[in-house]
Chain A
Amino acid sequence: MYKRQHQYAQAKTRLLVWNTFEALLTHDDKGGFLPWLASGYEVSPDGRTYTFTLRTDVTFSDGTKFDAAAVKANIDQLLAPNYAPGVAAVQLKNLDRVEVKDASTVVFQLKKPDVLLLDFVSSPQGAQISPKSLKEAKNLKAGGPELAGTGPFVMDRYTPGQEVHFTRNPAYNWAPANAGHSGPAYLDQITYRFLKESSVRVGALTSGQVQIVEGVPATDESLVSANPDLSLQRGLNSGSAYSYYFNTAHAPFDDVKVRQAFREALDVPAVLNGVYRNTATRAWSVIGPTSPFYDKSLEGTYGGDAAKANQLLDEAGWSTRDAEGFRTKDNKRLTVRLVQSAPFIRDRRDVLAQAIQAAVKQSAGIDVQVQLVDQGTATKALTDGAYELFDNSRADTDAGAALNLLLYSTGSINRTGYKSPELDKLLDAAVATTDQAERTELYRQLQKLVITDQALVAPLYAPQDQIAASKSVGGVGFEPTAGVPVDAYNLWLSK
């Protein structure tokens, strides 16, 4: 909801950021990168020096010229104290220094090889803001119309809670090769309104008050598909699948058999259909199915076998049942707690949790306790280890970035408590090389370890975005790799 670039935190806002701000590179649809503000890049054989050649014909909308000094100014700003500690500690953790070689060449020196740098310079956090804005903006961190970028539109009006308005940048002529066309954008102007109620969004669309909406829940889909003047598209997001992570630090999920049993007890397609009416895509791995690193061979290898679940629980010692039918061991019920933070609930994940609760109770006598709480309480529960299940999905364009946070022994959201040198080695090696095939092989080994051997994760579904649009609108679609709705550059309106 907030219009921010360096401070960007939600994949949902990419479509707004890219209207005004641009990055050095952009993703293609095969896991590679295309030139954008940089005309090319080179990686040294040791993987520690990234040299970018920049376009020389780019100006920010405030008239400032885009050059190597601008790139350095942006990185310096990101590393400035109290500006973007998250970016400095995660995406730029391996950055040693940035050097301006000449006006159109900038060099990133790394402390150790890190291929995720390419993902960073293609991300909204790495988007380029005019050095003049960086110096003069009164509320730099808040973003908004006072920041100038190089993009095809200029944001000229922002009313928090209501709308944001963009006007075409007529001088724009540096779109990446996969943008659909070159030169300025087709639309003279575009307004994005924030309508938080899905039924109101769909009503505004069906009554012609807006031409395109993002976010159509399964319950409202029939309204769109029943209308011949409207079209509906779904795109799967990049990053990690929405999954339940097992806390292996204490009982009962310290036993791999109980973890496997939970996955067998859960008939994923049944709960997904119950909650999302056949619109959700089942996940089989911690990595989302659109990632080039996704291991398709995991599909169908586990899950949904109640008999096996019960057998595994018997073997693990949870062989008795109490009066309510829940399994017990030493007179202790097989209870697992899932703590969800209410402000961050989306996709009706609280309802999904209830469906899962009912499913595993019935099939294997597992007692899932769902706690829907405020952010502070949730953080406290996680810090105190007062949980057995942790739910999460991340929309990182390179799934490796998500895995580093979720699975590395010191990862900042490693909630499984599982620490293994083997896993760390795989994660390190997979970001130390730029060779796509080698990375794919390393992530295949990692998925085997995490999904098949250790059963650390119960993958549930691949997060998606929906766009419903009037058929008078063209150029509607999803970003390659990220899988989120595109910005307005290629949109057009038939009259």
Chain B
Amino acid sequence: MITAILRRAGAGVLVLWAAATAAYLALLAAPGSTVDAIIGDGADTPGIRAQITSEWHLDRPAVVQYLDFLWRAAHGDLGRSYLLQRPVSDVIGSQLLPTVKLAAAAAVFGVLLALVLALVARRLTSTFGLVLVSTPPFLIGIVLLSVFSFRLGWFPVSGDRGFAALVLPAITMGLPIAGTLAQVLRDGLDRALDEPFAVTARARGLRESAVLTRHALKHALLPAVTMLGWSFGVLIGGTVIIEQVFGRPGLGQVTVQAVNASDLPVVLAVVILAAAVFVVINTVTDLAYLLIDPRLRRS
């Protein structure tokens, strides 16, 4: 058991290192130097360049900068943002909570809606799911805003200001997840209902709803949980658009800004954070398999 956990943790650290290194190399290979990125479209003289170089210690070889970055990161120091002139931990820290709230609310909404669609509105699921999956979140967001905020005034348009402001963004983000999840669940349910145990259950006189919830659902959950773990990646990517449309603070905006400005310390921190989230979620997903499927516990 303990070796399994250690192996898991070791693999996690390896993933973090690989993700950070890949991001570092990608930014290194991108055209233009860090000095170019900091100057942007502002005034550009040799004097300014020299000052920027010395301020951020950019005169050291790339390998040394990379090793220095790793060493500091290992000690929890992610450096300072070139663009925002603050410690990266501040930048990320202040934007983390709104993103987590949004992602969690969207995931809960998505899962609930998927369950309802798959169990109750089974006939509708296929068409409805397809529509949800294929509509761009940007459009969903604008339409929801137009109707429920601009016209009806039920929800505020912007910001991270309490529960009311979370509703529309969470729905916008949760709908496509619900669409995909519902499809997967329905497939699983259909397959489970064809199994002999479903026939047996029915023969015992169980109502169809009981057959569904007590017997078939458990079988259908396994692929759905895999899907949910994967969709957290979509959630992280999706926040960029949601934050833009709804004027919310969050990691998505920080990331886009940092990538556009080649703000290396922030980009690397976001990549490491995203990789960490993925490692954790994958671990949780694997544990969830054990809970759902007793066969896996035995082996």
A interface residue numbers (CB < 8 A to B) = 2, 7, 9, 81-82, 85-86, 88-90, 139, 141-142, 159-163, 193-197, 199-200, 203-204, 206-210, 341-344, 374-380, 392, 405, 412-413
Contacts and interface: CB of A to CB of B under 8 A. Distances in A.
30 contacts: A2-B84, A81-B51, A81-B55, A85-B51, A86-B48, A89-B43, A139-B85, A139-B86, A139-B87, A160-B94, A160-B95, A160-B249, A161-B95, A161-B250, A161-B254, A162-B249, A163-B159, A200-B145, A207-B149, A209-B149, A209-B156, A375-B37, A376-B32, A376-B33, A376-B36, A379-B39, A380-B36, A405-B43, A412-B43, A412-B44
B31 A380 contact: yes
A375 B261 contact: yes
Interface string B130-154: 0000000000001001100111010
A163 B42 CA distance: 25
Interface string B241-270: 001111111100110000011100000000
A86 B42 contact: yes
Interface in B53-109: 54-55, 84-87, 90-91, 94-95, 98
Contacts of B44: 412-413
A7 B38 CA distance: 13
A425 B254 CA distance: 45
A318 B153 CA distance: 62
A86 B157 CA distance: 38
Interface of A is mostly: mixed
Contacts of A90: 43, 45
A207 B150 contact: yes
Contacts of A193: 158-159, 247
Contacts, number: 143
Nearest to B87: A139
A343 B32 CA distance: 14
B160 A159 contact: yes
Nearest to A196: B244
B151 A207 contact: yes
Contact of A206 (B39, B86, B142, B150): B150
A102 to B, nearest CB: 33
A200 B149 CA distance: 10
B145 A203 contact: yes
B162 interface: no
B47 interface: yes
B30 interface: yes
Contacts of A343: 260-261
B45 A89 contact: yes
Interface residues of B, number: 53
B195 interface: no
Interface of B: 30-33, 36-37, 39-45, 47-48, 51-52, 54-55, 84-87, 90-91, 94-95, 98, 142, 145-146, 149-151, 153, 156-160, 243-250, 253-254, 260-262
B32 A379 contact: yes
Contacts of A160: 84, 91, 94-95, 249, 254
Nearest to B33: A376
A267 to B, nearest CB: 28
A344 B37 CA distance: 12
B249 to A, nearest CB: 4
Given A195-B157, A196-B244, A377-B32, 16 more contacts: A82-B54, A82-B55, A86-B42, A141-B85, A161-B248, A193-B158, A195-B158, A197-B244, A203-B149, A209-B157, A343-B260, A375-B36, A375-B40, A375-B41, A376-B30, A379-B32
Given A203-B150, A203-B157, A196 B261 contact: no
Contacts of B247: 162, 193-197, 200
Given A161-B95, A162-B247, A376-B30, A207 B153 contact: yes
A70 to B, nearest CB: 22
Contacts of A380: 31-32, 36
A412 B47 CA distance: 11
Contact of A204 (B31, B32, B42, B158): B158
B43 A86 contact: yes
B48 A85 contact: yes
Best-surrounded residue of A161, A163, A194 (most CB of chain B within 10 A): A161
A142 B86 contact: yes
Contacts of B153: 207-209
Contacts of B33: 376
Contacts of A208: 153
A208 B156 CA distance: 10
Contacts of B159: 159, 162-163, 193
Contacts of A196: 244, 247
A161 B44 CA distance: 28
A210 B158 CA distance: 10
Given A159-B160, A203-B157, A89 B48 contact: yes
Contact of B47 (A89, A159, A374): A89
Nearest to B56: A82
A89 B250 CA distance: 35
Contact of A197 (B156, B245, B249): B245
A89 B40 CA distance: 16
Contacts of B52: 85
A161 B86 CA distance: 15
A413 B48 CA distance: 13
Given A160-B95, A203-B149, A375-B37, A412 B260 contact: no
A210 B44 CA distance: 39
Contact of A200 (B85, B160, B245, B250): B245
Nearest to A90: B43
A376 B40 contact: no
A124 B63 CA distance: 39
A393 to B, nearest CB: 11
Contact of A142 (B85, B95, B249): B85
Contacts of B95: 160-161
A199 B32 contact: no
A464 B254 CA distance: 28
A375 B32 contact: yes
